Structure 1
């Protein structure tokens, strides 16, 4: 592995830890919060201190060859313990039982972490090894025991956490289940790391050379496993927020056609809300919805219920369901009203009197002047409110309906009617 393969994950996890420090200060008494931060911190430390340049720096700083070995092994055990504690506290249960299990695992791994430097002090490892200490000292008394202790602790954690996650994943759904599945992948990789390392060490005991398993195969496996495990724990915590953000962004994009249709003329656009494109997706969606509702309110004097009914009937004749036809009718009415507003920005200001309606005309006949009667506008407003009342999804449906040929035809019909001479 390259040095950047250690330092990049260490920096990323360090940033994540610092970003979550406010939550740690607020929820210090919560065992789950402490476990999450402990896991992120130990994972970052494992990557940082396992990098060969850091190993050499620690050895040189202390003046003791290979003193980094018990340090890195202790951090690995601490990370393994953090995984167990987080699973235990995450799943919950009776408070006393949770505390008892957490205490038992903590004591077990504290014993292993204490034993590692003791074995190192009792052993003899005078030749500095940056990448192959496990196999180089596999047969050295006490150093051998140190290596086997940390590998055993790491593998036990991987097996137990994998089993717990698989059982729990059958009982839950959505983001929690996704996080548990990701955790299983990460823990299996951690188990494979331990197996590869232990196989290489055991091969040295029998006089074989399987060092490639320890020096080339195991490091990238554990690097991937550590990152995947961290992601798996964070996914259920951040997943709902990411899901909400994605849904808000998709809604913002899908409302684009309706928003662009309703935007005020250029001379009025400066008064519209202006927020940066990099704002939070929910803020972008809220602003866009507010603009759309405000513009629909301003468009009410131009709404013509006759246009809506014609488009509705055309949609029904074309085989559309009642719900779809209602949305298409309102979309056609809104598009035609926008066209009317562009030709007649100030309704009711015409200097010429309205012509008297033809006595033979039916109640649905439109006036020759192109103006919309108050009765038709009121009916149109009621129809618009009825279509939009179910909520945000109907607004999206209205935006999507603007692409329909029925709506395009209604808009084309509105332009010549409004531009015809009086």
Structure 2
């Protein structure tokens, strides 16, 4: 069951990577997106290979006791390098300067990985340890140095990334700030992980047994940290898209009252279009706007510009700003026109189309204001009642 603390976040990160696979061919030349993809798969690999079950399997397959030790440490080191490269490319600047800095970072951490395997090969690691290799071999020559090296490399990367991201986060806003705060939170947990590991190893050096810091406390901290850091790098890339989609869905729903009112009577061209349930929010919004505008054209013979002017003056007098006052006037004119059309569908009492009235109603966000006014404004309700009362007085 304890392996779930490794495998569950590993699967989540791998799923995030899999979701990006279809677009990799288009974005592979973008160093920022390429590094995000690398970061996701490396973070997932760290957690997968650090699980005790996987550790035992790797040791058995390779036939080398504790071979998983330097393997996991190397993958973790590669993860640190990927994070630093991500920060380098994320901050922008000259592409050549970013490329040189990225190469220097990768070279430094590649040397660390080579040193980890070299120290492992020189040390005595004959007794397999699945969960407490760090503390069990804390006093073993060469293995001790390997453990300290990976912890120092991890601590340096965590500290540098935390400082850089924190300084950057106070100068930016929006989704980028959210991502940076998540990264800082994740790397603060990374530093907690390092403190726990150093504490357990240092206790062994002084003759004490604080192994629980390394075996029980540190792993869940590492899992949460990996998820936070990965989320921090992903959020600024997908956040704007999600925000735009949410705004489209919100506008689509808020246009519902106006759309339903316009299509409750005679069918309007464009009103019968059926969208598949998986259709994007932007496409649904476009069709709904088009259906509403088509409805306006069919109502044009019934529009009353005098009523529009009176409703606009009333809304302004009630304290509405010019844009909202116009939306209330549009909604009042539409409500009265719908009532007039309902009692005279053949249009015998109208005096021909009034294109200025139809074109006066704007698209997009103004349509949302019109829809909200249509549903809630007392001025619109008064126009609706007055139109119905006028119709009842006609012979």
Q: TM-score, normalised by structure 2?
A: 0.92
Mapped pair 1:392 → 2:356 = no
Alignment-derived partner of residue 335 in structure 1: 335
Distance 1:61 1:266, change over 3 A: farther
Query: CA offsets per residue over residues 197-225 of structure 1, 9 Å max, x none?
Result: 11111111001222221122211111111
Contact 1:304 1:372 in 2 (8 A): no
Q: CA deviation at 1:188?
A: 1.4
Query: CA offsets per residue over residues 280-329 of structure 1, 9 Å max, x none?
Result: 22112111111111111111112122432443344345444554333222
Contact 2:269 2:294 in 1 (8 A): no
Distance 1:270 1:62, change over 3 A: same
CA distance in 2, matches of 1:2, 1:139: 27
Query: CA offsets per residue over residues 9-33 of structure 1, 9 Å max, x none?
Result: 2222222223323443334344333
Alignment-derived partner of residue 413 in structure 1: 386
CA distance in 1, matches of 2:90, 2:156: 19
Alignment-derived partner of residue 117 in structure 2: 117
CA distance in 1, matches of 2:309, 2:106: 72
For structure 2, the residue ranges without an aligned partner over 5 or more in a row are: none
State the Cα RMSD in Å. 2.3
CA distance in 2, matches of 1:411, 1:344: 15
CA distance in 1, matches of 2:97, 2:323: 54
Runs (4+) of structure 1 moved beyond 6 Å? 266-270
CA distance in 1, matches of 2:85, 2:189: 19
Q: CA deviation at 1:121?
A: 2.1
Matched length: 394
CA distance in 2, matches of 1:240, 1:39: 20
SS in 1 for 2:207: coil
After the TM superposition, which of the residue ranges 266-275 and 301-310 deviates more from structure 2?
Answer: 266-275
- The 5 A counterparts of 1:234-253 are 234-253=234-253
Alignment-derived partner of residue 300 in structure 1: 300
Alignment-derived partner of residue 367 in structure 1: none
CA distance in 1, matches of 2:304, 2:25: 59
Alignment-derived partner of residue 350 in structure 2: 372
Alignment-derived partner of residue 353 in structure 1: none
SS in 2 for 1:194: helix
For structure 1, the residue ranges without an aligned partner over 5 or more in a row are: 349-370
Rg: which structure is higher? Answer: 1
Q: 2:356 aligns with which of 365, 382, 388?
A: 382
Alignment-derived partner of residue 181 in structure 1: 181
Contact 1:186 1:229 in 2 (8 A): yes
SS in 2 for 1:20: helix
Mapped pair 1:162 → 2:156 = no
Q: CA deviation at 1:398?
A: 0.6
CA distance in 2, matches of 1:317, 1:171: 43
CA distance in 1, matches of 2:24, 2:316: 59
Distance 1:51 1:98, change over 3 A: same
- The 5 A counterparts of 1:197-216 are 197-216=197-216
Alignment-derived partner of residue 287 in structure 1: 287
Distance 1:134 1:284, change over 3 A: same
